[in-house]
Amino acid sequence: MNGAVLVLYYLDFLLIGLLPKIFFKKDGELNFMWWLTASPFLLCAIFIALSFMGLWAPITGYNTLGTKLLGILSIPLSIISVMLIAFTFGTHRVPIALWHQKNDAPQHIVTFGAYEKIRHPFYSSFIIAFVGALLYCPHWGTLLTLICGVIILTYTAKQEEEKFLTSQFAEEYANYMKKTGRFFPKWSKP
């Protein structure tokens, strides 16, 4: 396993982990649902570290041609994840809600920038980071964190969308949903 790629993924996961402190509104708390959402990221980082230290071998073994090639293929995914986080961060003019709070109600709708084609670009970047981590460290543990992460992010995204669809932005958001994909751009025209 390449140490430089390990650092790249740790920086990616660190950026994801710091988002609540540096970007989101400060009026919420890191409740049970937030920690449940964060757990796949923490576990993925642990699994990668254990594999890197040689304590937990990837499915394909250590330093095989396969793991080296997968490690190289994972690099663009980590870079894309970080770039999408930055682009999404730059799209917002004001901090947004953590979305795991009972009282998180939509204050505005963002449909430009990173949100023009994707409704949840932060979550998209997280999923891309998980896929890249799985390529970098092809292990049952990283596969499990990818699956759990996608399930939890899908659940959270649905909750957010329900809040929008029952808010003052319901009609505008319903039209927006027709044009955009949840985590990735739609391939077909609405």
- 59 in a domain, yes or no? yes
Residue 144 above 70 pLDDT? yes
Indicate the pTM of the whole model.
0.86
- 184 in a domain, yes or no? no
Q: What is the Cα–Cα distance from 124 to 127, expressed in whole angstroms?
A: 5
Domain count, the chain: 1
Q: What is the Cα–Cα distance from 38 to 100, expressed in whole angstroms?
A: 12
User: Which CATH number characterizes residue 98's domain?
Assistant: 1.20.120.1630
If one compares 5 and 132, the residue with the highest pLDDT of the two is 132
Q: Which domain holds residue 60?
A: 3-179
Which pLDDT score, from 0 to 100, does residue 18 have? 78
Tens-digit pLDDT profile for residues 70-96: 888 999 999 999 999 999 988 877 666
Please, what is the angle between helix 3-22 and helix 32-52, to 10°?
Answer: 170
- 127 in a domain, yes or no? yes
Burial of 40 (0-12, 13-18, 19+ CB in 10 A): buried
